[in-house]
Structure 1
Amino acid sequence: MAEIRIRNTNERIAGEDEVRAFLTKQNVLYEHWDTSKLPSELHEKFVLSDDEKAQLLSTYDAEIRDLAGRRGYKVWDIVALSEATPNLPELLKKFEQVHTHTEDEVRAITAGRGIFIIKGDDETGYFDVELSAGDVISVPEGQPHFFTLMENKAIVAVRLFIEPAGWVADPFEDPTFVK
């Protein structure tokens, strides 16, 4: 279940309803999908074959199509990152820069853990959204953020896009951001 840490105050927010309420106020979509639907052999598997990726997408087909229909997403895929991913440190460096997109950045976590660092309203400032299996988040277009892995260094997520080519990160320079 997602948990939030507000960086300015170190306040933590937990519980599905509380997390959803906070993120809604920050214009960030949050949902939770039923992880018990996923075959047990995929719960903690971070290197996936094409067949396993297809199985994962098939398992969550109804949820993906529902979200896509409500939000205008047209294509989706699977991203799987772990210590087995070639050049993982270099890949993470690319992710770990504050940026924006011209469309939402959507992740539905199916295994592992990850964290979005998002710039909230002026009062809130930056906050961390720690995600685990079942958590679904959509950071709206134009909202400064970045994504990285947590200490486990492993995640599998469904990504949804409006543009078939996926999103492009536009760097966001913010002197107020502190890692």
Structure 2
Amino acid sequence: MAEIRIRNTDERITGEQNVRQFLENQEVLYEHWNAEKLPSNLKDKFILSDEEKAEILSTFDEEIRDLASRRGYKTWDLIALSDATPNLDELLKKFESVHTHTEDEVRAITAGKGIFVIKGSEDVGYFDVELEAGDVISVPETIPHFFTLMENRQIVAVRLFIETEGWIAHPFEDPEFSKAK
């Protein structure tokens, strides 16, 4: 289940309803899918064949199509990252800069853990959303953010897009942002 850490105060928000309410107030969609429906052989697997990726997408097909129809997403794929990913550190450096997009950034976590760092309202400032299997988040296109891995450096996530070629990142320079973990 997702947890939130407010960076300015180190306050933690836990519990699905509390997390959902906080994120809704920040204009961020949060949902939770049943990660237990994933076949056991894929629950902790982070190096995936094309067939295994297709099996994960098929397992969550109903949830993906429901979210896509409600939010206007037209295409989706699966990303798997771990220490076995070639050039992982370079990829993470690219991810770990605050930016906005031309459309929502959506992640449905099917295995592992990830974190969104999001610029909240003026009274909140930056906050971290720590995600694990079953958590689904959609950060609106205009909200500065970035997504990265947590300490375990392993994640499998469904990404949904409105544009068939995917979203385009626009750097967001912000003197208020600090990389504190």
Please give the range of the TM-score, normalised by the shorter of the 2 chains: over 0.9
Counterpart residue type for residue 63 of structure 2: E
Give the aligned partner of residue 118 of structure 2: 118
Give how far 1:100 is off: 0.2
Give the aligned partner of residue 20 of structure 2: 20
Q: Which 4+ runs in 1 deviate beyond 3 A?
A: none
Give the aligned partner of residue 150 of structure 2: 150
TM-score by structure 1 length?
0.99
Give how far 1:168 is off: 1.0
Give the aligned partner of residue 32 of structure 1: 32
Give the aligned partner of residue 7 of structure 2: 7
Give how far 1:78 is off: 0.2
Partners of 2:114 and 2:3 lie apart in 1 by: 11
Query: For residues 76-95 of structure 1, what are the structure 2 equivalents within 5 Å?
Result: 76-95=76-95
Query: What is the alpha-carbon root mean square deviation over aligned residues?
Result: 0.4
Q: State the Cα deviation string for residues 78-134 of structure 1 (Å, max 9, x = none).
A: 000000000000000000000000100000000000000000000000000000000
Query: For residues 93-172 of structure 1, what are the structure 2 equivalents within 5 Å?
Result: 93-172=93-172
Unmatched segments (≥5 aa) in structure 2: none
TM-score by structure 2 length?
0.98
Partners of 1:177 and 1:78 lie apart in 2 by: 29
Give how far 1:18 is off: 0.4
- Secondary structure of residue in 2 paired with 1:24: helix
Counterpart residue type for residue 104 of structure 1: D
Give how far 1:142 is off: 1.1
Partners of 1:142 and 1:42 lie apart in 2 by: 34
Give how far 1:36 is off: 1.2
Give how far 1:139 is off: 0.2
Q: State the Cα deviation string for residues 43-85 of structure 1 (Å, max 9, x = none).
A: 0000100000000000000000000000000000000000000
Give the aligned partner of residue 72 of structure 1: 72
Partners of 1:47 and 1:165 lie apart in 2 by: 24
Q: State the Cα deviation string for residues 12-60 of structure 1 (Å, max 9, x = none).
A: 0000000000000000000000011100011000010000000000000
Partners of 1:4 and 1:172 lie apart in 2 by: 22
Query: For residues 36-75 of structure 1, what are the structure 2 equivalents within 5 Å?
Result: 36-75=36-75
Unmatched segments (≥5 aa) in structure 1: none
Paired residues in the alignment total 179
- Secondary structure of residue in 2 paired with 1:151: coil
Partners of 1:79 and 1:154 lie apart in 2 by: 11
Partners of 1:64 and 1:25 lie apart in 2 by: 24
